[in-house]
Structure 1
């Protein structure tokens, strides 16, 4: 019997549980990912799945104690948590401290990919195309449009499109009110194009790309994540895979499911494409991917992690769209 522990931060701590909570969107995304993964792992013969839930106040069991206990007892652990303020890195450290095997990156890889400012510098040094990124207090006056966001943000929280100096100052002010002071904010050039993402399953023998997706983001200047659409045209998909591979190359310690956010520009040769950030964890796109896959993706991930020789997943003909809340629609058509 193989035991898999699936941990999701919002479900485990109750963050955003109430619909009125500003973090409710994170809770919905997290719960949808947790439930989808748990269902897929449970489909594997001889597999027992343990999922995170709200701490039991009556027993006095807190998040860290429950996490360490379940991860120590499991054969493999999956950790889903926001990167912000060290939450994801901390939980990977908890797992390593009890000798747990984690389907995820090393704490060092999490730290390198979470800090968008230093990651952008690494990418620029390695020749990976990415927008110019600087602390907000070092951003040149009059250089617009640009995007302001926390250096370690998740879920588009405190993220703003700014088009002039007044908007820039107001965005910093609002971000501070939302709990992200100027010292935690970065600015980067706005990149025109289609927001996209590509996920990889990374194991000891390499990285297996999954289907790229177009992201659906809000049009209010806040880039709120609303879901995605599969598949995208073969040319754009090829560009996404190529740029995604370049983005994760050289990041030692990546392992398990890794997502890369991109913008695919108007140039057909991909010269205007840019890497935006790396998500060193499961992303909401998994919900759509599992709908189009003729393969159990959770089982495939375990095989990749073990270093087995695997074939790429076979995808259904058709089109799938998914929402941040876990809703999925599928049309059995080959039209793209």
Structure 2
């Protein structure tokens, strides 16, 4: 079986992006996180001896000499410009039985990449275009979760903001964004002196334990072990510091139960989704914050502790095969 692995930044997709977007992305932590995920995907996939693995790799990554690329079942395809990325993507996507692609939702990069692959006729392990669209928008995610009675923080309107105690904490975040980037935590009094950017959402800050739950979607969705997230407030900004290696054992039951309520929203999807949530003082305080319609950094931790290849599990679940 042949698969294609690619991650937007590490695989050269950035060459096909606009100059302004490229400069913005290169300044962000998304580049480092992307390479970590591509590495984790590759290390996980080589555990399965049934797979031949094609990997697109940006020449600028300078990792082509890594031992993993010399393995007999791994083919590395270097990318140095936009035309080369498009050509190799089109060629390899149709040769692959499955494509596993990673990209941030920012600037609709994930949606565009998924569309590009599907136009090539690729069997890409991602949610549908509609599912990617609404889950890439924090406002539409709020609407979808509310519609299906999944608890999530409400979005405050101007009248509600005016009634807040001046010490109340609020979260100010872009509608379209990845992770905690450009997300601020302010008091209501501090917010009064700030002019929010267009496409900005304001919600009450929900205190609790930050947990991430990953789900392998497909014929029989598999909820992975919940992991604690390290998220801190630094200079009025939320900072994602990564996920902890330890399983969120103490809160696993509640986190799993909340994740189960989100799975029907991704009916028919294949691949992987990541559900970020806050576990409160009691079960009635538990909230889903956002849903990532793609592979997340939690994969890096989960794959290390897994007894079997998670890439293999994604493929088997997409194919409707019984998972062992």
Q: TM-score scaled to structure 2, two decimals?
A: 0.83
Match of 1:215 in 2: 229
Match of 1:202 among 217, 220, 235: 217
Q: Distance in 1 between matches of 2:222 and 2:80?
A: 44
SS at match of 1:68: helix
SS at match of 1:131: coil
CA contact (8 A) 1:4 1:41 kept: no
Match of 2:138 in 1: 116
Q: Structure 1 residues 70 and 194, CA, compared in 2 at 3 Å: closer, same or farther?
A: same
Are positions 1:170 and 2:170 aligned together? no
Q: Distance in 2 between matches of 1:83 and 1:99?
A: 22
Summarize the alignment of residues 19-38 of structure 1 with structure 2, pairs less than 5 Å apart.
Answer: 21-23=26-28, 25-38=29-42
CA contact (8 A) 2:135 2:291 kept: yes
Are positions 1:263 and 2:278 aligned together? yes
Match of 2:83 in 1: 61
Summarize the alignment of residues 1-336 of structure 1 with structure 2, pairs less than 5 Å apart.
Answer: 2-11=1-10, 12-14=12-14, 21-23=26-28, 25-54=29-58, 61-133=83-155, 140-143=161-164, 144-167=168-191, 169-170=193-194, 172=196, 182-204=197-219, 206-220=220-234, 221-232=236-247, 234-267=249-282, 270-311=283-324
Q: Distance in 2 between matches of 1:92 and 1:187?
A: 29
SS at match of 1:262: strand
SS at match of 1:44: coil
Q: CA deviation at 1:218?
A: 2.8
* Structure 2 unpaired stretches of 5+: 16-20, 60-77
CA contact (8 A) 2:13 2:82 kept: no
Q: Distance in 1 between matches of 2:107 and 2:169?
A: 27
SS at match of 1:129: coil
Q: Structure 1 residues 250 and 13, CA, compared in 2 at 3 Å: closer, same or farther?
A: closer
Q: Distance in 1 between matches of 2:203 and 2:281?
A: 19
Aligned residues: 295
Q: TM-score scaled to structure 1, two decimals?
A: 0.80
SS at match of 1:5: strand
Instruction: Name the structure with the higher helix share.
Output: 2
Q: Distance in 2 between matches of 1:162 and 1:21?
A: 27
Q: CA deviation at 1:141?
A: 2.6
